[in-house]
Structure 1
Amino acid sequence: MKKHAISISFVIIFIALIAVLFYNQSQIRQVPSVYTFDIETEDFYIKDIEFVVMPHSLYVTKQYLEVIGEDKIFDGISYGLSIGENRIVSLSQADDPFHLPDTANSKIYFNTNNLFKNMQVSKSDTIKVEIHYKVNGESKDIVGEIKLSDVVKPFTLTGDKTPIRLS
């Protein structure tokens, strides 16, 4: 009886180890999802917003602002992107970001490389966008949502992506 119980225990442990091995291999082989999009307001673009989702983590890359039109004077720009309760991008620039010393050709680059661990993201989630700025003395507040399923980057990207218009 004792030998029989020990044999059953070894079989159960062996099956559990095989199950753990297969689970770990399936996690390693999961392909990351890449999401990329641009946001357009009346006055500027937020371009090349991109993030990579792996199981249990999310990595946000850099993006840049580009002014639309001429003769615009900004007095601060701030924007944030959230997925669920998690803020993945939060930027604020006082004064006119398009007239700073590190601005080139009416574009300013922001290095927002951030890694968020223990974060679950699926293609059915949405990104909440909040943009606040002042241009030519007028304050503007923009809030919108973007479906992740609409901005999944394909393995081959042909042509230009169309900016998502928020107003």
Structure 2
Amino acid sequence: MKTGAKLKGNRRKAVQPVSPEELAANRERVDYLLLLLSDRHPTEQIATEQSWNAAYSEVDRLWYVSGDRECVACHRRVSPHQMLPPMPGNGRPGMCRPCAAYAEEENHRRTFGPLIGPLQSRRKLRMLDGSWITLGELARRHRARTRGQPHQSPALAA
């Protein structure tokens, strides 16, 4: 395979080379389906749930083989894996992942104010011994305790 060749496939399947004609056809089909799904097509509309589901699944399948896209925020060209398809229900349509994260943080700051601090990824709970654990770790320990298995801390297991 030539270096720099476009690849076909998605995260679940093997990757195959794509011709420029197939890449352009995929891009046109995805753009057409996105217009239908967003109800912005000038002459056509989706009338049934079955046709909606078919269009939605086809966009999901073709998005990853439709070639690089331009982020609506930073105007960089990124691979389709680096952004969510601009379909209804996706939080930040057409934005690459860093721009979507930045917009989410800006929304958080606008809602809660600038003095809140950085967004926290996981809420941590303080234990009686002074250590901190996540809520998921507390739930795991509780499940192990209710099943009758003794708790082993990661420090003792190593």
TM-score grouping bracket, smaller chain normalisation: under 0.3
| TM-score scaled by length of structure 2 | 0.22
Normalising by structure 1, we get a TM-score of 0.22
Q: Using CA pairs under 8 Å that are at least 6 residues apart, name the structure with larger relative contact order, 1 or 2.
A: 1
